[in-house]
Structure 1
Amino acid sequence: MKKKIKYGLITISILIIGLFVAYGIFISNFDLFGEPEKVIFKTNCDYEGRRQSTIFEYGGNAVTNPAIIVSIDLGCSDNPDDSKKKTVFSAEQTSGMMVETEWKSFDTLTIIYSDRLEPITQLEKVIYSDSTLNLTIEYEKK
Protein backbone atom coordinates (compact mmCIF):
# COMPACT_ATOMS: atom_id res chain seq x y z
CA MET A 1 0.00 0.00 0.00
CA LYS A 2 2.85 2.39 0.84
CA LYS A 3 4.42 1.66 -2.57
CA LYS A 4 1.22 2.69 -4.39
CA ILE A 5 1.03 5.98 -2.48
CA LYS A 6 4.71 6.67 -3.10
CA TYR A 7 4.42 6.04 -6.85
CA GLY A 8 1.13 7.97 -6.99
CA LEU A 9 2.73 11.05 -5.36
CA ILE A 10 5.74 10.84 -7.69
CA THR A 11 3.46 10.55 -10.73
CA ILE A 12 1.31 13.51 -9.61
CA SER A 13 4.37 15.67 -8.91
CA ILE A 14 5.84 14.84 -12.35
CA LEU A 15 2.52 15.73 -13.99
CA ILE A 16 2.34 19.05 -12.10
CA ILE A 17 5.91 19.95 -13.04
CA GLY A 18 5.17 18.99 -16.68
CA LEU A 19 2.05 21.18 -16.69
CA PHE A 20 4.05 24.17 -15.36
CA VAL A 21 6.74 23.66 -18.02
CA ALA A 22 4.12 23.31 -20.79
CA TYR A 23 2.28 26.42 -19.54
CA GLY A 24 5.56 28.40 -19.49
CA ILE A 25 6.42 27.35 -23.04
CA PHE A 26 2.90 28.19 -24.22
CA ILE A 27 2.89 31.66 -22.64
CA SER A 28 6.37 32.52 -23.91
CA ASN A 29 5.48 31.56 -27.50
CA PHE A 30 1.89 32.85 -27.63
CA ASP A 31 1.72 36.39 -29.00
CA LEU A 32 -1.92 37.46 -28.95
CA PHE A 33 -1.53 41.24 -28.97
CA GLY A 34 2.02 41.55 -30.27
CA GLU A 35 3.13 44.18 -32.75
CA PRO A 36 2.46 43.02 -36.33
CA GLU A 37 5.55 42.72 -38.49
CA LYS A 38 6.19 45.51 -40.99
CA VAL A 39 7.61 44.73 -44.44
CA ILE A 40 8.66 47.61 -46.70
CA PHE A 41 7.92 46.79 -50.34
CA LYS A 42 9.10 49.91 -52.15
CA THR A 43 10.29 53.45 -51.51
CA ASN A 44 10.06 56.13 -54.16
CA CYS A 45 11.59 59.64 -53.85
CA ASP A 46 10.28 62.74 -55.58
CA TYR A 47 12.37 64.54 -58.19
CA GLU A 48 14.19 66.80 -55.73
CA GLY A 49 14.62 64.26 -52.92
CA ARG A 50 12.49 66.24 -50.46
CA ARG A 51 9.71 63.66 -49.98
CA GLN A 52 9.48 59.92 -50.19
CA SER A 53 6.54 57.60 -50.66
CA THR A 54 6.82 54.24 -48.91
CA ILE A 55 4.67 51.19 -49.58
CA PHE A 56 4.66 48.69 -46.74
CA GLU A 57 2.56 45.93 -45.27
CA TYR A 58 1.68 45.23 -41.68
CA GLY A 59 0.99 41.57 -40.98
CA GLY A 60 -2.04 40.76 -38.92
CA ASN A 61 -2.33 39.22 -35.49
CA ALA A 62 -5.22 37.95 -33.38
CA VAL A 63 -6.98 41.32 -33.36
CA THR A 64 -5.86 43.06 -36.58
CA ASN A 65 -6.08 42.26 -40.26
CA PRO A 66 -3.06 42.56 -42.53
CA ALA A 67 -2.95 45.97 -44.21
CA ILE A 68 -1.08 47.55 -47.08
CA ILE A 69 -0.19 51.18 -46.46
CA VAL A 70 1.31 54.07 -48.41
CA SER A 71 2.94 56.82 -46.38
CA ILE A 72 4.75 60.06 -47.13
CA ASP A 73 8.01 60.90 -45.36
CA LEU A 74 10.17 64.00 -45.46
CA GLY A 75 13.59 63.37 -46.95
CA CYS A 76 14.81 60.27 -48.75
CA SER A 77 16.41 57.45 -46.80
CA ASP A 78 16.45 53.69 -46.69
CA ASN A 79 15.12 53.71 -43.11
CA PRO A 80 12.23 56.19 -42.96
CA ASP A 81 11.42 57.67 -39.54
CA ASP A 82 8.11 56.23 -38.31
CA SER A 83 7.30 59.31 -36.20
CA LYS A 84 7.28 61.61 -39.26
CA LYS A 85 5.18 59.39 -41.54
CA LYS A 86 1.86 60.61 -42.84
CA THR A 87 -0.36 57.73 -43.93
CA VAL A 88 -2.18 58.68 -47.14
CA PHE A 89 -3.57 55.32 -48.28
CA SER A 90 -4.43 52.10 -46.49
CA ALA A 91 -6.40 49.00 -47.39
CA GLU A 92 -6.90 45.52 -46.02
CA GLN A 93 -4.31 43.27 -47.65
CA THR A 94 -5.33 40.01 -49.28
CA SER A 95 -3.25 37.87 -51.62
CA GLY A 96 -2.69 39.09 -55.15
CA MET A 97 -3.43 42.75 -54.42
CA MET A 98 -0.99 45.39 -55.56
CA VAL A 99 -0.27 49.06 -54.90
CA GLU A 100 2.21 51.25 -56.79
CA THR A 101 3.24 54.89 -56.46
CA GLU A 102 4.45 57.25 -59.14
CA TRP A 103 5.53 60.90 -58.87
CA LYS A 104 3.74 62.78 -61.67
CA SER A 105 5.32 66.13 -60.81
CA PHE A 106 7.02 67.79 -57.87
CA ASP A 107 3.78 68.17 -55.92
CA THR A 108 1.62 65.34 -57.33
CA LEU A 109 1.78 61.67 -56.37
CA THR A 110 -0.31 59.04 -58.13
CA ILE A 111 -1.25 55.90 -56.23
CA ILE A 112 -2.26 53.02 -58.48
CA TYR A 113 -4.05 50.17 -56.73
CA SER A 114 -5.87 46.98 -57.62
CA ASP A 115 -9.61 47.37 -58.21
CA ARG A 116 -10.20 44.51 -55.76
CA LEU A 117 -8.77 46.53 -52.87
CA GLU A 118 -11.22 48.49 -50.77
CA PRO A 119 -9.43 51.54 -49.35
CA ILE A 120 -9.78 52.37 -45.68
CA THR A 121 -7.85 55.65 -45.83
CA GLN A 122 -7.52 57.87 -48.91
CA LEU A 123 -6.16 61.38 -48.41
CA GLU A 124 -6.35 63.83 -51.32
CA LYS A 125 -3.86 66.37 -49.90
CA VAL A 126 -0.94 66.33 -47.48
CA ILE A 127 -0.27 69.69 -45.88
CA TYR A 128 2.96 70.61 -44.07
CA SER A 129 3.91 73.70 -42.12
CA ASP A 130 6.28 74.55 -44.98
CA SER A 131 3.84 75.16 -47.86
CA THR A 132 6.47 74.22 -50.47
CA LEU A 133 6.16 70.61 -49.29
CA ASN A 134 2.38 70.35 -49.72
CA LEU A 135 1.33 67.41 -51.84
CA THR A 136 -1.68 66.49 -53.99
CA ILE A 137 -2.54 62.81 -54.34
CA GLU A 138 -4.37 61.23 -57.27
CA TYR A 139 -5.73 57.68 -57.26
CA GLU A 140 -6.08 55.20 -60.14
CA LYS A 141 -7.68 51.77 -60.03
CA LYS A 142 -6.10 49.12 -62.18
Structure 2
Amino acid sequence: MNRIVKYGLITISILIIGLLVAYGIFLNNFDLFGEPEKEILQTNCDYEGLRQATIFEYGGNAVTIPSIIVSIDLGCSDNPDDSKKKTVFSAEHTGRTTVETEWTSFDTLKIIYSDRLEPITQLDKVTFSDSTLNVMIDYETK
Protein backbone atom coordinates (compact mmCIF):
# COMPACT_ATOMS: atom_id res chain seq x y z
CA MET A 1 0.00 0.00 0.00
CA ASN A 2 2.86 2.38 0.75
CA ARG A 3 4.24 1.82 -2.74
CA ILE A 4 0.88 2.87 -4.34
CA VAL A 5 0.69 6.00 -2.21
CA LYS A 6 4.32 6.84 -2.98
CA TYR A 7 3.83 6.50 -6.77
CA GLY A 8 0.51 8.34 -6.56
CA LEU A 9 2.13 11.33 -4.82
CA ILE A 10 4.99 11.39 -7.33
CA THR A 11 2.52 11.30 -10.23
CA ILE A 12 0.39 14.08 -8.74
CA SER A 13 3.45 16.27 -8.06
CA ILE A 14 4.69 15.77 -11.65
CA LEU A 15 1.25 16.74 -12.98
CA ILE A 16 1.13 19.87 -10.79
CA ILE A 17 4.62 20.94 -11.90
CA GLY A 18 3.67 20.32 -15.54
CA LEU A 19 0.50 22.39 -15.17
CA LEU A 20 2.43 25.25 -13.55
CA VAL A 21 4.98 25.24 -16.39
CA ALA A 22 2.20 25.16 -19.02
CA TYR A 23 0.37 28.01 -17.26
CA GLY A 24 3.58 30.09 -17.18
CA ILE A 25 4.16 29.54 -20.89
CA PHE A 26 0.53 30.47 -21.60
CA LEU A 27 0.77 33.75 -19.65
CA ASN A 28 4.00 34.74 -21.41
CA ASN A 29 2.61 34.11 -24.89
CA PHE A 30 -0.99 35.29 -24.56
CA ASP A 31 -1.49 39.06 -24.30
CA LEU A 32 -5.03 39.45 -23.00
CA PHE A 33 -5.33 43.21 -22.56
CA GLY A 34 -2.30 44.44 -24.49
CA GLU A 35 -2.34 47.30 -26.97
CA PRO A 36 -3.47 46.10 -30.43
CA GLU A 37 -0.90 46.51 -33.17
CA LYS A 38 -1.38 49.64 -35.28
CA GLU A 39 -0.22 49.91 -38.88
CA ILE A 40 -0.47 53.00 -41.07
CA LEU A 41 -1.75 51.87 -44.46
CA GLN A 42 -1.95 55.19 -46.31
CA THR A 43 -1.53 58.91 -45.71
CA ASN A 44 -2.99 61.47 -48.06
CA CYS A 45 -2.47 65.25 -47.69
CA ASP A 46 -4.79 67.90 -49.07
CA TYR A 47 -3.66 70.30 -51.79
CA GLU A 48 -2.21 72.89 -49.42
CA GLY A 49 -0.69 70.53 -46.85
CA LEU A 50 -3.01 71.77 -44.08
CA ARG A 51 -4.81 68.49 -43.37
CA GLN A 52 -3.94 64.85 -43.71
CA ALA A 53 -6.19 61.80 -44.04
CA THR A 54 -4.62 58.68 -42.56
CA ILE A 55 -5.83 55.09 -42.86
CA PHE A 56 -4.92 52.88 -39.90
CA GLU A 57 -5.33 49.15 -39.44
CA TYR A 58 -5.61 47.97 -35.84
CA GLY A 59 -5.12 44.31 -34.99
CA GLY A 60 -7.44 42.78 -32.46
CA ASN A 61 -6.75 41.08 -29.18
CA ALA A 62 -8.87 39.14 -26.72
CA VAL A 63 -11.21 42.06 -26.04
CA THR A 64 -11.09 44.18 -29.22
CA ILE A 65 -11.96 43.46 -32.82
CA PRO A 66 -9.59 44.17 -35.72
CA SER A 67 -10.60 47.44 -37.30
CA ILE A 68 -9.75 49.83 -40.08
CA ILE A 69 -9.93 53.54 -39.26
CA VAL A 70 -9.70 56.77 -41.27
CA SER A 71 -8.71 59.87 -39.33
CA ILE A 72 -8.03 63.50 -40.17
CA ASP A 73 -5.11 65.40 -38.64
CA LEU A 74 -3.97 68.98 -38.93
CA GLY A 75 -0.65 69.29 -40.70
CA CYS A 76 1.06 66.84 -42.99
CA SER A 77 3.67 64.53 -41.48
CA ASP A 78 4.86 60.93 -41.69
CA ASN A 79 3.98 60.24 -38.04
CA PRO A 80 0.53 61.67 -37.25
CA ASP A 81 -0.08 62.68 -33.64
CA ASP A 82 -2.65 60.32 -32.11
CA SER A 83 -3.90 62.92 -29.63
CA LYS A 84 -4.91 65.40 -32.35
CA LYS A 85 -6.53 63.04 -34.84
CA LYS A 86 -10.26 63.01 -35.40
CA THR A 87 -11.72 59.64 -36.42
CA VAL A 88 -14.20 60.03 -39.28
CA PHE A 89 -14.66 56.42 -40.44
CA SER A 90 -14.21 53.07 -38.75
CA ALA A 91 -15.27 49.54 -39.60
CA GLU A 92 -14.50 45.99 -38.55
CA HIS A 93 -11.60 44.73 -40.65
CA THR A 94 -12.52 41.37 -42.11
CA GLY A 95 -9.58 40.51 -44.33
CA ARG A 96 -9.50 41.58 -47.96
CA THR A 97 -11.42 44.79 -47.53
CA THR A 98 -10.09 48.06 -48.85
CA VAL A 99 -10.45 51.69 -47.90
CA GLU A 100 -9.05 54.58 -49.93
CA THR A 101 -9.09 58.33 -49.43
CA GLU A 102 -9.00 61.09 -52.02
CA TRP A 103 -9.17 64.86 -51.62
CA THR A 104 -11.68 65.94 -54.29
CA SER A 105 -11.47 69.64 -53.45
CA PHE A 106 -9.91 71.90 -50.83
CA ASP A 107 -12.51 71.06 -48.19
CA THR A 108 -13.94 67.71 -49.38
CA LEU A 109 -12.55 64.26 -48.67
CA LYS A 110 -13.91 61.21 -50.48
CA ILE A 111 -13.66 57.88 -48.66
CA ILE A 112 -14.04 54.87 -50.93
CA TYR A 113 -14.58 51.59 -49.10
CA SER A 114 -15.41 48.02 -49.97
CA ASP A 115 -19.08 47.07 -49.89
CA ARG A 116 -18.21 44.16 -47.59
CA LEU A 117 -17.39 46.58 -44.77
CA GLU A 118 -20.08 47.58 -42.30
CA PRO A 119 -19.19 51.04 -40.96
CA ILE A 120 -19.19 51.58 -37.20
CA THR A 121 -18.39 55.32 -37.33
CA GLN A 122 -19.21 57.47 -40.34
CA LEU A 123 -19.06 61.27 -39.94
CA ASP A 124 -20.22 63.65 -42.67
CA LYS A 125 -18.39 66.75 -41.42
CA VAL A 126 -15.38 67.52 -39.24
CA THR A 127 -15.15 70.91 -37.59
CA PHE A 128 -11.98 72.48 -36.25
CA SER A 129 -11.50 75.58 -34.11
CA ASP A 130 -10.43 77.43 -37.27
CA SER A 131 -13.54 77.25 -39.48
CA THR A 132 -11.46 77.52 -42.66
CA LEU A 133 -10.11 74.01 -41.95
CA ASN A 134 -13.52 72.28 -41.73
CA VAL A 135 -13.86 69.17 -43.90
CA MET A 136 -16.91 67.72 -45.66
CA ILE A 137 -16.76 63.97 -46.20
CA ASP A 138 -18.34 62.01 -49.06
CA TYR A 139 -18.60 58.22 -48.99
CA GLU A 140 -18.58 55.81 -51.91
CA THR A 141 -18.74 52.01 -51.92
CA LYS A 142 -17.14 49.86 -54.55
Q: TM-score, normalised by structure 1?
A: 0.87
* Rounded Cα–Cα distance in structure 1 between residues aligned with 2:60 and 2:117: 17
- Structure-1 residue corresponding to 2:128: 128
SS at the partner of 1:22? helix
Are 1:67 and 2:30 counterparts? no
Deviations 1:97-119 (A, max 9, x none): 11100011111111111122221
Q: Which residue of 2 aligns with 1:33?
A: 33
Identical amino acids, percent of aligned pairs: 80
Query: After superposition, where does 1:74-113 map in structure 2 within 5 Å?
Result: 74-113=74-113
Amino acid at match of 1:53: A
Q: Which residue of 1 aligns with 2:57?
A: 57
| Residues in 2 aligned to 1:116 and 1:39: alpha-carbon distance in whole angstroms | 21
Match of 1:16 in 2: 16
- Which digits, 9 at most, give the CA deviation of each residue in 1:26-54, with x for residues without a partner? 11212222222111110001111111100
Letter in 2 for 1:80: P
- Bigger Cα displacement from structure 2, 7-16 vs 78-87: 7-16
CA distance in structure 2 between the aligned counterparts of 1:20 and 1:140, rounded to whole angstroms: 53
Pairwise CA distance, 1:21:
1.9
Deviation of 1:12 (Å): 4.2
CA distance in 2, matches of 1:100, 1:40: 12
The 10-residue stretch of structure 1 (80-89 or 22-31) with the greater mean CA deviation from structure 2? 22-31
Q: Shift of residue 15 of structure 1?
A: 3.5
Distance 1:71 1:6 in 2: 66
TM value normalised by structure 2: 0.87
| Partner Cα distance (2:67, 2:13) in 1 | 47
Which whole-Å CA distance do the structure 2 matches of 1:25 and 1:33 have between them? Answer: 17
Range moving further from structure 2, 23-32 or 80-89: 23-32
Shift of 1:123: 0.6
